[in-house]
Copies of this chain bind each other. A is one copy, B any other.
Amino acid sequence: MTGSDAQNLARSATKVRTLADLAKIAGVSPGTVSRALAGNSLVNAKTREKIEAIAREHGFRPNQMASKLRRQKTGVIGVAIPLGHDVRQQISDTFFMTLLGHLADELTEKGYDLMLRRVIPAQDEDWLDRFIGSGMVDGVIVIGQSDQFERIDDVADGYLPMVVWGNHQEGQRHCVVGSDNRLGGKLAAERLIASGAKRLAFLGDTQPIEFAARYAGAKEVAKKLGVSIRALPTHLAPDRTGEEIAAHLGKIEGEIDGIFAATDTIAVTCLKELRDRSIAIPSQLKVVGFDDLPISSQTAPPLTTVRQDIAAGAKGLVDLLLRRLNGEDTESLVLPPHLIVRETA
């Protein structure tokens, strides 16, 4: 008879669903069972062992809902991903997904569970208040400000345990963790120009605040060094970027010699379009991306890009959130991006 058979047998025998059931069998009170299972030191070792044995034997698990209700804390952190600008893609964006993975790791390690909620603010005005007020989470991490900066900022006044991944703005009220996007933009433009580019383009949507900051940084450098720069709008969804980039490339052929892509995902697509048109990289056209996804070292040629440290970001988010859960009013954390020089610029 295998272990699991034994378990099944035990399970089907006496149904032990509640502390009270277990208490009856053990011949003690529910209170004692609760204490024993919680590892409370006040319980007699013998009693505790007996209770634990019975619990194991019957595969008993205390009901978390009841426990959470009673203790007024959930042990769950909500992670919200607002899908503002570009509903389809943002979520499957490798960057956000990787961040989510690291977040899951960090939270698990600290003993928290993670409740994931994707929200479409346009369809649900009240998303953040609802999440916070639901009583289901002890705190909230918002991944990406999307176009919800104002709303998030408003909420932050009355709700401490919230940390946001995103761009830091002077004077904002909510706590963010994120890369210095403006600096990243500068690094990208500097590299492009240092490699000889004189007519730059920023490839990507300039609406999202993070991207706007990257573009702004690049513009600042371009202006200072007397180089032109223009925005070439694209969406983030890969099924559309291809055509969009192709269209741009068709129009501006020869007018630009350096591309700063808003993300590596866009850069990779751009690289392919460039290859398809036999435009030599980096000799004819230089390209710099942003993020440093795993893929970026594998492209042909390997992509020069601006790295965001995702793991550090996740660590920072969780760390700050836990401190806020303890009542501390933490400062934002701005992480420095790093230029990774490979072969496209």
A91 touches B117 (CB 8 A): no
Residues in B whose Cβ lies below 8 Å from that of A102:
92
Q: Which one of B61, B101, B271 lies within 8 Å of A298 (CB-CB)?
A: B271
Q: For chain A, what secondary structure do more than half of its interface residues adopt (helix, strand, loop), or is it mixed?
A: helix
* Assembled-state Cα–Cα distance A219/B306 (Å): 43
* Assembled-state Cα–Cα distance A130/B61 (Å): 7
At the interface, yes or no: A133 with Cβ under 8 Å from chain B? yes
At the interface, yes or no: A147 with Cβ under 8 Å from chain B? no
Copy tally for this chain in the complex stands at 2
Q: Which one of B60, B101, B298 lies within 8 Å of A269 (CB-CB)?
A: B298
* Assembled-state Cα–Cα distance A294/B236 (Å): 12
B108 touches A101 (CB 8 A): no
Which of A26-34, A68-76, A197-205 binds B? A68-76
Residues in B whose Cβ lies below 8 Å from that of A116:
104, 113-116
At the interface, yes or no: A275 with Cβ under 8 Å from chain B? yes
Interface string of A89-121 (1 = CB under 8 A from B): 001101001101110110010000111111000
* Assembled-state Cα–Cα distance A63/B100 (Å): 27
Residues in B whose Cβ lies below 8 Å from that of A62:
135
Q: Which residue of B lies closest to A125 (CB)?
A: B3
Residues in B whose Cβ lies below 8 Å from that of A41:
none
B157 touches A8 (CB 8 A): yes
Residues in B whose Cβ lies below 8 Å from that of A297:
272
At the interface, yes or no: A208 with Cβ under 8 Å from chain B? no
At the interface, yes or no: A134 with Cβ under 8 Å from chain B? yes
At the interface, yes or no: A154 with Cβ under 8 Å from chain B? yes
At the interface, yes or no: A295 with Cβ under 8 Å from chain B? yes
Q: Which one of B97, B105, B135 lies within 8 Å of A98 (CB-CB)?
A: B97
Q: Which residue of B lies closest to A2 (CB)?
A: B154
Given A65-B69, A91-B105, A105-B118, CB of A238 within 8 Å of CB of B294: yes
14 residue pairs A–B, Cβ–Cβ below 8 Å: A8-B158, A59-B133, A65-B69, A65-B135, A66-B135, A69-B69, A76-B115, A91-B101, A92-B102, A94-B97, A97-B98, A105-B118, A108-B117, A114-B115
Interface, chain A (partner B; CB < 8 A):
4, 8, 11, 59-66, 68-69, 74, 76, 91-92, 94, 97-98, 100-102, 104-105, 108, 113-118, 129-130, 133-136, 154, 157-158, 238, 268-269, 271-272, 275, 294-295, 297-300, 302
